[in-house]
Amino acid sequence: MKKCDLIKGYYFITDSNLTKAGITNDIKSAIDAGVKIFQYREKNKATRLMYEEALEIRNLIKQGLFIVNDRVDIALAVDADGVHIGQNDLPLSITRRIMGKEKIIGVTVHDLEQAIEAEKNGADYIAVSPIFQTTTKLDAESPVGIETLKQIKKIISVPVVAIGGIDLKNALGVVNAGADAICAISAVVTKDDVKGEILKFQNLFLKREEK
């Protein structure tokens, strides 16, 4: 099995601004729910604190992938499985040179052209964002919608993650559009039962597999 084969189902991303239980407890709940891919995304913290938090999470995850958002230095420092970059971060070619061939690199894209470019340049997976209007990322692009997600899935061969404005009311449409994984942050970490909310999203993929 290739590492990227684990990019399916619910994709967990931390958010210390939204969490009720704390990011460490959220990670533990996600592990209990069977999540296989985790991303540490914290935008406005000191580097030392980010390192310490990322290291703690790295040590919690025994099975699955641990990805660090944006920060190549933190990813390497804690021996994460990979890093996730956006359109305004280091170019993919430079990120690959620093991370090495064995690490996973994910790229956020906003349209089909960017998705094709990312795969051509060696992205291991892509995240299509935002699918819907989102409040968890202040600098988010305009929503790309379900149809763009479908177009990307038809052409792209690497795993495709859908993120942005996803909740239980609209998640089924995203799953049926072909997303390999979905991330819903506020719909999960703001709740009292993080594990239970994640399982609801996981069940959508199980139902798709049963069809």
| pLDDT reported for residue 137 | 62
Domains present along the chain, CATH in parentheses? 3-210 (3.20.20.70)
CA 34 to CA 128: how far, in whole Å?
Answer: 23
Tell me, what DSSP letter sits at residue 140? Answer: -
- Report helix, strand or coil for 156: coil
| pLDDT reported for residue 140 | 63
CA 17 to CA 37: how far, in whole Å?
Answer: 20
Mean pLDDT of the chain: 95
| pLDDT reported for residue 3 | 84
Closest CA to 33 of 57, 68, 9: 9
Phi, psi of 69, rounded to the nearest 5 degrees: -80, 130
CA 131 to CA 143: how far, in whole Å?
Answer: 5
pLDDT tens-digit profile, the chain (211 residues): 678 889 999 999 999 999 999 999 999 999 999 999 999 999 889 999 999 999 999 999 999 999 999 999 999 999 999 999 999 999 999 999 999 999 999 999 999 999 999 999 999 999 999 999 877 666 667 899 999 999 999 999 999 999 999 999 999 999 999 999 999 999 999 999 999 999 999 999 988 887 6
Closest CA to 124 of 150, 90, 101: 101
C-alpha R_g of the chain: 16
CA 205 to CA 107: how far, in whole Å?
Answer: 23
Alpha helices in the chain (DSSP H): 23-32, 47-60, 72-77, 92-99, 112-120, 145-155, 171-176, 186-189, 194-210
CA 143 to CA 159: how far, in whole Å?
Answer: 20
* Alpha-carbon torsion (160, 12, 101, 108), positive or negative: positive
Type of residue found at 9: G
| pLDDT reported for residue 2 | 76
| pLDDT reported for residue 139 | 61
- Report helix, strand or coil for 72: helix
CA 147 to CA 5: how far, in whole Å?
Answer: 24
For residue 10, what are the β-bridge partners?
182
| pLDDT reported for residue 136 | 65
15-51 residue pLDDT tens:
999 999 999 999 999 999 999 999 999 988 999 999 9
